[in-house]
């Protein structure tokens, strides 16, 4: 393992068990203030695990006749804190979409009978969106499958997160 600060560079080279190329790359990263390759390996593995989950979720949504974005919309509405309905702006924020894209998504959910629009009783200019009973059943079905997949991936995700935290705390290092 490379250590920060003092020490004989030649001795560190031998102790680290690195090839000349690996040693030179580690020295260059250290001089540039960049992280060891291990940090990027772990980040890439974590992103891959997240993509596996997202692909699973997209497939689960399609199995019930939804696009992934429609499922995300249902989940954002059903999972909104303290209320059973959301404004178009709140839904746009949760989904990180533009207002007009969110309106189109709501139109498609309403057309499928999964959501309904209603005027706010507080501000008549504001349109609220809530799930219909069919929408609730649909989001619950896909969410149950997703929770099962998350349970399956949990050990891998937590191991990668723990490893990332350890590597970040070490600075330039080699972990084998």
CB-count exposure of residue 92 (10 Å: 0-12, 13-18, 19+): buried
Alpha carbon distance 43, 36 (integer Å):
12
Q: What is the pLDDT of residue 1?
A: 45
Q: What is the pLDDT of residue 75?
A: 98
Which tokens go with 100?
């007009």
The pLDDT assigned to 121 comes to: 84
C-beta of residue 105 within 8 angstroms of C-beta of residue 69:
yes
pLDDT of 95: 97
Q: What is the mean pLDDT of each run of 10 residues along the chain (176 residues)?
A: 50 58 66 72 94 96 97 97 94 96 98 95 88 98 97 94 85 45
This prediction's pTM = 0.73
The residue behind tokens 């809530």 is: 130
Looking at residue 21, its pLDDT comes to: 75
């Amino acid at each position: 393992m490379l250590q920060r600060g003092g020490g004989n560079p030649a001795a560190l080279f031998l102790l680290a068990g690195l090839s000349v190329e690996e040693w030179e790359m580690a020295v260059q990263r250290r001089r540039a203030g960049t992280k060891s390759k291990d940090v990027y390996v772990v980040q890439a593995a974590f992103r891959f695990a997240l993509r596996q989950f997202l692909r699973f979720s997209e497939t689960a949504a399609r199995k019930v006749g939804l696009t992934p974005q429609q499922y995300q919309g249902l989940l954002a509405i059903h999972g909104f804190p303290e209320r059973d309905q959301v404004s178009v702006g709140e839904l746009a924020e949760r989904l990180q979409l533009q207002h007009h894209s969110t309106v189109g998504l709501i139109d498609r959910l309403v057309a499928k009978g999964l959501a309904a629009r209603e005027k706010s009783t507080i501000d008549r200019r504001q349109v609220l969106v809530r799930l219909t009973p069919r929408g609730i059943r649909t989001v619950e079905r896909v969410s149950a499958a997703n929770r099962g997949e998350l349970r399956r991936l949990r050990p891998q995700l937590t191991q990668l997160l723990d490893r990332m935290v350890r590597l970040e705390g070490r600075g330039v290092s080699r972990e084998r």
